[in-house]
């Protein structure tokens, strides 16, 4: 059995896996391409001739130019393909199991301050072009709700429950949200204000009409950041901004995690935003006192 034979079986299973979203399948194909490119002779090798040392040698070379997350996922793909060879009886053990994962450092967030965010939205709104107001609205919508860009694109007026002050996030009509779940995100006061303003500007729109009239605004963000001297950030950073402002306002991390649509009980949010909780704890501790309050004279 060659590695290529095992790879063919893996690709067949990948294609037929209904639990994986299309983008996940594309990413795994990208990892296969990176693996074959970095180890050209691998595809034609007899799986019995793929040794532990060869796997470790390849991994050491691949790690020099690959981002840790891409490295780990490419190694994982190699293991899965060789697992198929084990399953088929081509080899007794998986030689790639000895490759250690790289530690992925959390992304250092460079988020705008409250004043910078207000200035940025205003700069986008006053910029040239017919889409400026729509881009400014999208920036606010993402920041006030913590939505992923694709989720925001699929939120219609019917999903905005003004009586309960909640927005229902369903995701793509076919593939759903990233975690295949529907969630409800409470409207913060500024979100209510934004939606009421948009509804007033666009009266009579059908409830099935998307709230946002544009689905991306990165160029507008880039231009405004450059104009204001703010570090560039992305659509996804606005999701981080939402979580950061919530935690800084005293919302507990498990609750913020649910609003973001995480299914890990807050584990990921704790890694990304845990330092904010610690800072908040220190600030709250300054209010604790065992002293008898002084009486004013």
Q: What is the pLDDT of residues 136-192, one digit of tens each?
A: 999 999 999 999 999 999 999 999 999 999 999 997 776 656 666 889 999 999 999
Query: Would you say the C-alpha torsion 265, 269, 271, 277 has a positive or negative sign?
Result: negative
pLDDT tens-digit series, residues 14-46: 999 988 888 889 999 999 999 999 999 999 999
Q: CA dist 170 to 158, 247, 254, Å?
A: 11, 24, 20
Bridge partners (DSSP) listed for residue 167: 160, 185
Helix axes 132-145, 235-248, angle to 10 degrees: 40
CA distance 187 to 189: 6
pLDDT, position 119 = 95
Kindly state whether residues 60 and 136 are assigned to the same domain: no
Question: Is residue 274 assigned to a domain?
Answer: no
- CATH number of the structural domain spanning residue 217: 1.10.443.10
CA distance 239 to 169: 14
Question: Is residue 243 assigned to a domain?
Answer: no
pLDDT tens-digit series, residues 253-283: 888 888 988 776 655 556 666 555 555 555 6
- CATH number of the structural domain spanning residue 50: 1.10.150
pTM reported for the whole predicted model: 0.72
Confidence of residue 297 (pLDDT cuts 50, 70, 90): very low
Contact in structure between 17 and 28 (CB atoms under 8 Å):
no
Q: Which residues contact 47 (CB under 8 A, 6 or more apart)?
A: 1, 2, 3, 6, 82, 85, 90, 91
Kindly state whether residues 58 and 145 are assigned to the same domain: no
């Amino acid at each position: 059995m060659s590695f290529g034979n095992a790879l063919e079986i893996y690709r067949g299973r990948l294609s037929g896996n209904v639990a994986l979203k299309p983008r996940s399948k594309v990413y795994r194909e990208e990892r296969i391409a990176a693996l074959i490119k970095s180890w050209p002779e691998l595809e034609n090798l007899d799986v019995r001739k793929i040794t532990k040392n060869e796997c470790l040698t390849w991994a050491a070379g691949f790690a020099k130019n690959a981002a840790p997350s891409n490295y780990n996922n490419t190694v994982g793909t190699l293991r899965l393909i060789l697992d198929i060879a084990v399953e088929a009886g081509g080899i007794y053990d998986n030689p790639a199991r000895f490759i250690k994962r790289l530690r992925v450092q959390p992304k250092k967030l460079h988020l705008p301050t409250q004043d910078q965010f207000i200035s940025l939205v205003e700069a986008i709104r006053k910029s040239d072009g017919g889409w400026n107001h729509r881009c400014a609205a999208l920036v606010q919508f993402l920041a006030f709700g913590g939505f992923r860009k694709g989720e925001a694109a699929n939120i219609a007026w019917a999903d905005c429950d003004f009586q309960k002050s909640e927005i229902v996030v369903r995701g793509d009509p076919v593939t759903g949200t990233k975690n295949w779940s529907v969630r409800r995100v409470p409207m913060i006061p500024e979100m209510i204000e934004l939606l009421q303003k948009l509804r007033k500007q666009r009266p009579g729109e059908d409830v099935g009409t998307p709230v946002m009239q544009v689905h991306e605004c990165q160029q507008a963000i880039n231009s405004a950041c450059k104009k204001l001297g703010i570090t560039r950030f992305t659509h996804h950073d606005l999701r981080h901004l939402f979580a950061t402002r919530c935690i800084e306002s005293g919302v507990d991390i498990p609750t913020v995690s649910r609003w973001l649509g995480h299914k890990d009980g807050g584990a990921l949010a704790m890694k990304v935003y845990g330092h904010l909780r610690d800072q908040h704890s220190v600030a709250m501790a300054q209010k604790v006192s065992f002293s008898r309050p002084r009486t004013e004279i």
